[in-house]
Structures are given as structure tokens and as C-alpha cells.
Amino acid sequence: MVKNSFISVISQDEKDENRGSVEFQIVSFTNRIRRLTSHLQLHKKDYLSQRGLRKILGKRQRLLSYLSKKNRICYKELINRLDIRESKTR
């Protein structure tokens, strides 16, 4: 499954303890974003899913900016592992 491959980024012992951690939430949001993106490629007029995708993107962006302020090294590692672009600084 796709979900297991992204969750396996965080080690098994950390996964059980840190489900509320910022890193785990970013990984799960990335998983949901990729699933919704593939869904929207088939169903282009599914506007409710488009709205949900935009909300999840915003949540992930806020978590990524929080992580970049708190722990820049962990942020860089997570961005590289998930293969997502670095956010633009304001």
C-alpha cells in the first residue's frame, strides 16, 4: 500500500510513540495529498475534493513552516525524504 511506504519513513518504534509529532503529521498529510491528486486526475470536476486538497495543503504548509523555524535540520531531512519542494520564504 502507498500509505505504509510513507509511514515507514519514520521508524517503527517512533511511529507508535509519536503519532502527534509534526513529522508524522506531515508524512500523513503528504500521503493524503498524493492520493487526492491521483483521484483528481481521474475526476477533474470533483470540486469538493479540490477544496479538501487545498485545505490539506494549507495545513501541511503551516506545519512545514513551524518545523523549519524550530528544527531546520529535521526540516531539510524530511523535505528530502518526501521529495517535496522547499517553501518560499517571505
d(CA 77, CA 81): 6
Does the residue 3 lie in any domain? no
Does the residue 28 lie in any domain? yes
Does the residue 29 lie in any domain? yes
pLDDT, one tens digit per residue, over 8-62 is 555 555 555 678 899 999 999 999 999 999 999 999 999 999 999 999 999 999 9
Phi and psi at residue 9, to the nearest 5°: -60, -40
Does the residue 56 lie in any domain? yes
**What is the domain count for the chain?**
1
Does the residue 75 lie in any domain? yes
Distances (CA, A) of 18 to 27, 50, 68, 75: 12, 29, 19, 16
pLDDT, one tens digit per residue, over 51-65 is 999 999 999 999 999
The pTM of this model reads 0.78
Q: Which domain holds residue 51?
A: 22-82
d(CA 52, CA 38): 14
Does the residue 34 lie in any domain? yes
**Residue 31 corresponds to which amino acid?**
N
CA atoms within a 13 Å half-sphere pointing along the CA-CB vector of 82: 27
Provide the CATH number for the domain around residue 77: 1.10.287.10
d(CA 77, CA 82): 9
Does the residue 47 lie in any domain? yes
